[in-house]
Structure 1
């Protein structure tokens, strides 16, 4: 699981990319994360920035994406990113 202090590093672009990899609609991710659709849309519209919502809301979205098989890749010289975990099965 992603550590709590790392939640602040998850960008709107990573959220959109993760959702796209899973083939989730915004409605599906909102449902799975327990976040309202308007809040999710606001999170994803923040461009390359960290969404301006509470860390708790970011954590809910990240947890839902990770449960579905997403791994968040930290900045490591190659840039932030997302990928499907090797053991991922779309849920």
Structure 2
């Protein structure tokens, strides 16, 4: 799933998602946006894994047959991330 697809599904700006995905340290986004991203990805079949020992946290796909994403934003609406 691309950043733009995730932005469409969550209603968040693509830049917000890019900040959340930035490496090194905690994501510089607010708690509500982090929960929205987590819930959306979980609904898409992503399982978040806690850190164990020397291994860091991670994620994996749990169900390859998860329902495909549908658009939440209306077609033709303004989308500032794509310059429209």
TM-score, normalization by structure 2 = 0.69
SS at match of 2:56: coil
Q: CA RMSD in A?
A: 1.4
Q: d(CA) in 2 for partners of 1:63 and 1:54?
A: 14
Q: Deviations over 1:26-65 (max 9, x none)?
A: 00011112211111112222x1322111110001111111
Task: Report which structure shows greater RCO (CA 8 Å, sep ≥6).
Answer: 1
Residues 34, 60 of structure 1: 8 Å contact kept: no
TM-score, normalization by structure 1 = 0.64
Task: Report which of the two has the higher share of helix.
Answer: 1
Q: d(CA) in 1 for partners of 2:65 and 2:26?
A: 27
Q: Which runs of 4+ in 1 moved over 2 A?
A: none
Please tell me whether Structure 1 or Structure 2 has the larger radius of gyration of its CA atoms.
Answer: 2
Unaligned runs of 5+ in 2: 69-84
Q: Who is 1:81 aligned against? A: 58
Q: d(CA) in 2 for partners of 1:61 and 1:30?
A: 9
Offset of residue 76 of structure 1: 1.4
Unaligned runs of 5+ in 1: 1-23
